[in-house]
Each structure stands twice: as structure tokens, then as C-alpha cells.
A and B are shown apart, each in its own frame.
Chain A
């Protein structure tokens, strides 16, 4: 693993969708946990989907771990992403869902199967390997999705509010678990959130998205202590 430097570099990125446009120009340091915050409709999800390769960008350049991935397929970008929903296939068992992260064709050998079980064990789901998502709780579904991210072993993790449907206590628990998992894997994290307390709990830096612009990350504590005008309006302080 390369030490130091930038894990994610976004240069002159521009996304256009009808009347909506978003520009971004920033870099994220290796190993940082970054909260992406901003009003509804500001383009937080759009930004993450563009980084993940799920929507077209109008112009600009995206670099992950020193590699230009601007036109790479979503699975060839060194990025794992969790969406608001649809993170697990309902007709596959939790073990199979996690296995997809190692081998999409799902023909796993014994060693790979052991990795799947280790990952499930890491999120406390070892005994639920053969259950299907519909048979476990929402929190357990989130854990299974995290286990898949764990075996995918990508250097950059994007979270598009995957825990939004969980209650406050469970959400906090999942954010802690995500932080642990990311730290163990040495992964850099970008997470969208609506709640400033989530940012303070689970993030080092903060990207504020508003007015068609994604600002460069700054330390959470510093921003929260002295929020700029637009952020203050959003936070209602």
C-alpha cells in the first residue's frame, strides 16, 4: 500500500443533468473519513454516483489511488459503494451476497468461502450466513452489506446514506462499525449525511455541497466551530 498522498483527486469535475449542474475540484487524503453534507437536491448523491461511475460526467478528471478512472467501469475504479437501498439481492443468501464481492460469478473455492465467513463474523452475522435478506432485520441487512464491502477490499468507500432507514441508535452503531471496518481495511470513506452529529461522530473532514458547488474538505471540528454562512443556514444555527 502506498503511504501518504491523495486517495481521491477530483479535477474540474462538471456534472450536468438538464437544468442542474454541479462542479467539484478537491482532493481527499488517504485514510480520511469525509462527511458530505448539504441541503436536499444540492447534488450529494449525484456527486457520489459520478465518482462511482454510475452517471456520465460532462467534463473533468477523477483519480483514485493514483489511477485515472474517469472512464473506467464502476467495478474497475477501486471504489465500493453502498446505496440508500438495493444493496443486497433478496433472492440470494447473505453469504452469497457477500460472496459477490469476491467473485461475481459466485463460484467460490474453500479459501474464498472462508473469507466470506470471516467477513460475516466481523459484522456479527456468522450464524446468519444462510438466511436471506428478507428474513433478517434492517440493521442486520446493513451489516451484511458492510461485510460485502469488507471482502471487496477497495481503497475507497462511498456511502450514499445506506443507514438512513435505521433508528438513531442503530445508525450510530452502524457508523461506528463502518469506521472500524474502514480503519481495519485502510480504506478512505466518503459518506453522505443529513445529520451534523453523524459527521461529528464518524468523520474527520467535511465537504459542503450547495449552490452547484462541492467545496474542498475541511476538518469537521474546525468547520463546526465556525461554519460559513451557507452551512449555518443549512444547519439552522
Chain B
């Protein structure tokens, strides 16, 4: 339907989108200044590209393969702590990467629980470092995400279909063919694509568990070119590679990426008549719960012990992290709200692709470009925190816009004519209609951004000098100097901060939220 009248002036959204594009283009300009004909591609660069794509593929594949039986079990069995488990599946998404790595080290590391157990049995120890460690950590983060996405798909099957299955006495094989397979075929490619794209720009995991020629992602290679060699030309070439790889993947994945709903995984179990022996389901649920909970548990235990070992630097890093996260969240809202309003009214659906820029343009790629631009004039370290805050906001943008867009469309559909009829526009429209109507989603998106920003260990590692640090960076430094207890204490503070800030924003959104 051709619509001339629009409730929200689209220009603010277009300006916000232009700003995002400009930040990326400026980074691109910076990078291209440093690329010379002589900076050809060496074997090491190709190795980084190969490893990046390979680990992302493997991480996505394993995450999805494990998620299918777990989601299936959770969809058809009600186990004790079911609700808690489904909620916890959302936790890794906002868990700071460095904290999860510490937790995984406590289980799978040299002195971890697994190796202690193997040692008692007289078996050789396994090492978490290297390519398989990177994949393990990615699976830890993304298997729960995949499980929630697939669970959502499963729960979209109407209960009537399962009643019909009971009435017809279909075998589990037939149920799989008639009901489950069509759902999986719909949901799994999207989940796979999302995880693949996320893992392509993985940095913190590779930094802590990878390294060496056999386990270096492009992002890590950029960092190394910077920090170890200060070879801006090489960093620029790698940034370009990162952009090409992630860009190609995102373009391919765009059409199958799943929407991100606020209520991922409602806790609902449909009465089923076809479920075979419960032992299989019990196995998968136990495995998933153990994989998810043991690292979290170890962080809590060692963190409590470590609290007293924390140096004063953790306190100042905590303060820095809080304000960087606050700035990120404000910037995110300033960008995402007008963009969502514009996209919700836009006739051209492809405009949504703009938000993927945040996934395509990796933090270190943008960081490298801006470093090259700033470097000749002022010390980039002075911009470490503002650049970090801005880039964190941009990284959260694709998620935030996808959270805000569906309810924004609904508001315009339900109340667009009423707002225009009474002449609501500008700030009054936001204050009286849009913010109150979208409050839960705004709170959720803000909380997600704050938590992601709190946990971010990316561009700040590139820019920061020894005197400035966010909490994740400080924790990484403590781990690097083998102050494990102090690092564990900092991890606990970091977790509390990430979940605390998420909770504050989310609770704001839920309070007074009305139907």
C-alpha cells in the first residue's frame, strides 16, 4: 500500500544509519592508506583466513548438532529446574568472554577438574590450548544460543499436531518426518548462519586460548601485527581480509538470519504421546546442564576466594568499565531507536541489511582504521575509551535493531493512524507513544548492550596504554601474569557487573510494562 503519511520523520534514522556507515567507511579509508602494492599476502595471512573460516564452520556445526537433541529433550520433557535451565541458556550470550574462558580453564585447563580426574585414572592430560580450545569455547557460547533458537521453533508447533500424533499412534520415526524435520529445516540453517557469522569475528577467545600459526583468527592476527610488530601495513591488509570474509558471509547469511525475540524460549512443554525412552533425553539435558553449569560454578567458587586478592587496579578498571558501558548504551539507543523507526516504516525491506554492518565490520578492523587515522595527529591511547564505547554500541546495533523492529512495526500498524490523526510528532511522539509502548524491548536491548560492553575485550586491547584498562582487559593482564586468584576475583566482579547492568535495564523495561 502506498503511504505518503508517516508517523515518524525518517530523517533521524537515515542520519543515524549514515553515521554508522561513515564510521566504517572512515576506518576503510584509514586502512587503505596503509595498503601498499608491496604488502602482498603471505602464507601466514592465508593461514589466518583458513583457520578463521574453518573454526567458525566447526563451531557452528558442533553447536547446532548438540543443540538439536538438547532442544528436543527440553521441548518434550519437564525436568526439575526446567525453567531455570531454559533461562540459563540465555546467560552465555551476555557472559563476558574472558570470564567464560577462565571458567573453561578451571574445568578443561592444565590443573582443571577434567585433567585432575584423568590424572587419577592414570590417563594422559588433554590441553585446552589450540584450535580445539577455540572451538570448545565457541560451542560453550553458542550451543545454548542454538538451543534456544531451535526450542523456539519446536514450541511453535501447535499442540493440536501432537494430539493428532497421539490419536494416530505415529511412531517416533514418523513424528520426526512429519513434524520435527520440517521445523528443523526451517530453524537450523538460520541458527547455523548466525553462529558462523558471530564466530568469524572472534577475538577474545582466540587471544586467550588460541595463538600460534595453527590457531590464529584474522582478528587475532590484526592484534598481533599491531602489538608485537607495530606493522600497520600488515594490520591493514588483515583488516581488509576480515571485511571481505565477514562481509561475504553476512551477505550470504542475511536472508536466513533468525529474528531475535524478547521471550526466547518460553517455558512450555507440550503434552506428547510419542516420546520414546526418557533416558536419551535425560542424557542430553544432563550433558548440556553440566557443560553450562560447571564452568559457571567454578567461577563462582574461585571468584569468592579470589576477591580478597584483588589489586586496587581492579577497582579503577571497574569504574572505567561502568562508564564505558553507560556511554555505549546511550549511543546505542540514540542510533538504534531512530533507525528502527525508520526501518519500521520503510518500504524497502533490504534496509535492514544496514544493521548487519555491525557484524561485518569487526571491532579490530574499525579500530585499526581509526588508529591509522588518529595516529599521525594525536596519541590514539587518549581515544581508547571513547572509541571502545562507540564500537561496542555498533556491535550491539544489529541485535538491538532486530529486537526493536518487530514491536515498532506493530505500534505503527496499531496506532500509526491515531498518532497522525491527533498530530503527535517529534519528541512528544517518542515520549507519549513509542517509548512507553516499546519499553520492554528498549530495556532488553539496552541491557544487552550494557552487558556486551562490560564484557568486551576487543578494540580496547588495541588502543589502551598500561595505565588505562577496562575490567576485562585488567583481568586478561592478571591472567597473563599468572595472578590466577586475583583474576578469578575480578571475574566475579565482572560477572556481577554484566548481569547487574543487564538486570537494571531489563527490570526498567519490565516495570510498568503494559499490554
A-to-B contact residues, CB < 8 Å: 17, 49, 52-56, 73-76, 80-81, 83, 85-87, 89-92, 100-101, 104-106, 132, 134, 148, 152
**In contact, A81 and B415 (Cβ under 8 angstroms):** no
- Whether the pair B418, A73 counts as a contact (CB closer than 8 A) is no
CB pair A104 B2 closer than 8 Å: no
Residues of B contacting A85 with CB < 8 Å? 414
A-B contact pairs, 25 of them (CB 8 A): A17-B1, A17-B2, A52-B417, A53-B420, A54-B3, A54-B5, A55-B1, A55-B2, A55-B5, A56-B3, A56-B4, A74-B417, A75-B423, A81-B417, A86-B415, A86-B417, A90-B515, A91-B436, A100-B422, A100-B432, A104-B423, A104-B432, A105-B432, A106-B432, A134-B514
Q: Which residue from chain A places its CB closest to the CB of B424 in the assembled complex?
A: A104
Given the known interface contacts A17-B1, A91-B436, the answer about A86 and B418 at a Cβ–Cβ threshold of 8 Å is yes
B350 lies within 8 A of chain A by Cβ: no
CB interface residues, B 400-421, toward A, < 8 Å: 414-415, 417-418, 420-421
B82 at the interface (CB under 8 A from A): no
Residue picked from A53, A74, A132, most chain B C-beta under 10 Å: A74
Complex-state Cα separation, A53 to B5, whole angstroms: 7
User: What are the interface flags for B248-288 relative to A under an 8 Å C-beta threshold, 1 for contact and 0 otherwise?
Assistant: 00000000000000000000000000000000000000000
**Which residues of B lie under 8 Å from residue A91 when comparing CB positions?**
436-437, 514
Interchain residue pairs A-B with the least CB separation, the first 6 = A75-B423, A105-B428, A74-B420, A104-B424, A56-B2, A100-B422
Are A104 and B5 in touch, CB under 8 angstroms? Answer: no
Closest residue of A by beta carbon distance from B425: A104
CB neighbors of A among B100-148 (8 A): none
Measured between beta carbons, the chain A residues less than 8 angstroms from B293 are none
Are the CB atoms of B421 and A52 closer together than 8 Å?
Answer: yes
Classify the interface of chain A: helix, strand, loop or mixed: loop
Q: Which residue of B lies closest to A74 (CB)?
A: B420
Residue of B nearest to A158 (CB): B421
Chain A residue, CB-CB nearest to B414: A86
Residues of B within 8 A of A (CB): 1-5, 414-415, 417-418, 420-425, 428-429, 432-433, 436-437, 514-515
Q: Which residues of A contact B415 (CB under 8 A)?
A: 86, 89
Interchain CA distance A49-B429 in the complex, whole Å:
21
A135 to B414, CA, bound (A): 19
Shortest distance between the CB of A21 and any CB in chain B (Å): 13
Q: A54-B5, A90-B514, A104-B425 are in contact. Are A75 and B433 (CB under 8 A)?
A: no
- A83 in contact with B417 (CB, 8 Å): yes
Q: How far is the CA of A58 from the CA of B143 in the complex (A)?
A: 53
State the CA gap A92–B435 with chains docked (Å). Answer: 12
Closest Cβ neighbor of A100 among chain B residues: B422
Question: Taking CB as reference atom, which chain A residue is nearest B512?
Answer: A91
The complex places the Cα of A106 from the Cα of B429 at a distance, in Å, of 10
| CA distance in complex: A148, B420 (Å) | 14
Q: Tell me the nearest residue of chain B to A83, going by C-beta.
A: B417
- CB contacts (< 8 Å) of A100 on chain B: these are 422, 424, 432
Across the two chains, which residue of chain B brings its CB closest to A101?
A: B422
Assembly CA distance A85 to B418 (angstroms): 10
B427 CB to nearest chain A CB (Å): 8
Bound-state CA distance A87–B419 (Å) is: 9
Complex CA gap A134/B433 in Å reads 16
CB–CB B3/A81 < 8 A: no
Complex CA gap A90/B436 in Å reads 10
Which chain B residues lie closer than 8 Å to A55 at the CB level? 1-5
Looking across the interface, which residue of chain A has its beta carbon closest to that of B426?
Answer: A105
Complex Cα distance, B512 from A90, in Å, reads 12
Contact between B428 and A106, CB atoms less than 8 A apart: yes
Min distance, Cβ B136 to any Cβ of chain A, angstroms: 46
Q: A74-B420, A81-B417, A91-B514 are in contact. List 4 more A-B contacts (CB 8 A).
A: A55-B3, A56-B2, A104-B423, A105-B432
Contact of A104 among B3, B4, B422 (CB under 8 A): B422
A91-B437, A91-B514 given; A152·B422 CB < 8 A: yes
Across the interface, do A54 and B417 meet the contact criterion of CB distance under 8 Å?
Answer: yes
Query: Which of B3, B4, B5, B429 has the most chain A CB atoms closer than 10 A to its own CB?
Result: B5
CB distance from B269 to the nearest CB of A (A): 30
Q: Which residues of A contact B515 (CB under 8 A)?
A: 90, 134
Residues A54 and B420 in contact in the complex (CB < 8 Å), given A89-B433, A91-B437, A106-B432: yes
In contact, A89 and B423 (Cβ under 8 angstroms): no
CA distance A17 to B432 in the complex (A): 32
Complex: how many Å from CA A105 to CA B426? 9
Q: Are A89 and B5 in contact (CB under 8 A)?
A: no
Q: How far is the CB of B225 from chain A (nearest CB, A)?
A: 53
Q: Are A75 and B2 in contact (CB under 8 A)?
A: no
Please determine whether A74 and B432 come into contact, CB atoms closer than 8 angstroms. no
